[in-house]
Every structure is written in C-alpha cells, then in structure tokens.
Amino acid sequence: IIKRLQPEEFTDIQTNKGKVRISNKQTKQERKENINIATHLANKYNYSIDLIGAKVNAKTPDSYNKTLGEYKVSKTNTKNSIDSLLKKGYLQAENVVLLVDMTIDKQVLANAITDRINRTKNAKTLHVIMGEKDLIYTREEILKKRFKIQ
C-alpha cells in the first residue's frame, strides 16, 4: 500500500521523561534526527511531542508540542549553511529547533541567526541546542542590538 494513502498511526519512542510518538508518515530522511531532538526535549523539559507526518505537496512542521515546530540539524559551520537551514525551517513553521552538531564561532552563529530572523516575518522562536547549552530565543530577543548566543 502506498505510504501516503495509509492512515496516520503513531509509535511510542522510549524516553526517560515526557513522551515522544512518531508518525508512520515521517520521512526516512528526517526520522533519526527528529527522534534525537524530540527525545532530548522530552527528557529535559518533560514535553509530550508528536513527530507528525509530512503532507503531500505542502510544507509541514516536524512536530506538534502545543506549538508546531520544525527541527533542523546543522553539521556545517558556515553562516550560509545556518541561514539556509533557518530559511527552510521558517517556511515550514514559526518555531524552529536548531541542533548545532559541530563547532562554530558563536558570533558567526549569532550573525546568521540575526540576519535570517530579520528577513523572516513569521519567525516567533528559535530553540538552539548546542552541546550542553539549550536556549530558547524569541524574535524580539534576537533582533535586539548585540544579540549573542549565551
């Protein structure tokens, strides 16, 4: 049976706290990274997260946790790669979680974030996970003068 014609069903993912469920309609490409980010958030914040399936011919977020959010993983430490991930993320949702999975200069990261948020009117929040740091920034905080990753 064609995957997109199947009814959406959810499978529980093991967590220490909170709850994560994944849709059978999540794409194979996103599955591993989304589970990694969702279980981190569930374990740390006791969130209950549904990793939802992609809609045909539509931009959809990766998760539902009271707000819809898109998960992005950065593996390249350039301003352009961060900008590209955020641009794609904010096309899908107004709340983005960015897992920074490499070493990057914090000022390069802050500049990339500020530039993209400045050009993205629907951006509400950016949740940055970077090593042990795990911070949520609002659009207003990012657009203040001298925004820095703490």
Lookup result for tokens 């959010």: 69
Phi, psi of 109 (to 5 degrees): -60, -50
Predicted confidence (pLDDT) at residue 129 exceeds the cutoff of 80: yes
Mean pLDDT across the chain = 87
Stretch 99-121: mean pLDDT, rounded? Answer: 93
pTM for the predicted model, two decimal places: 0.84
Percent of the chain with pLDDT over 90: 55
26-30, 101-105, 106-110, 111-115: segment of lowest average pLDDT: 26-30
How does residue 141 score in pLDDT terms, banded at 50, 70 and 90? Answer: very high
How does residue 80 score in pLDDT terms, banded at 50, 70 and 90? Answer: very high
The CA distance from 85 to 120, in Å, is: 13
How does residue 145 score in pLDDT terms, banded at 50, 70 and 90? Answer: confident
| pLDDT for 112 | 95
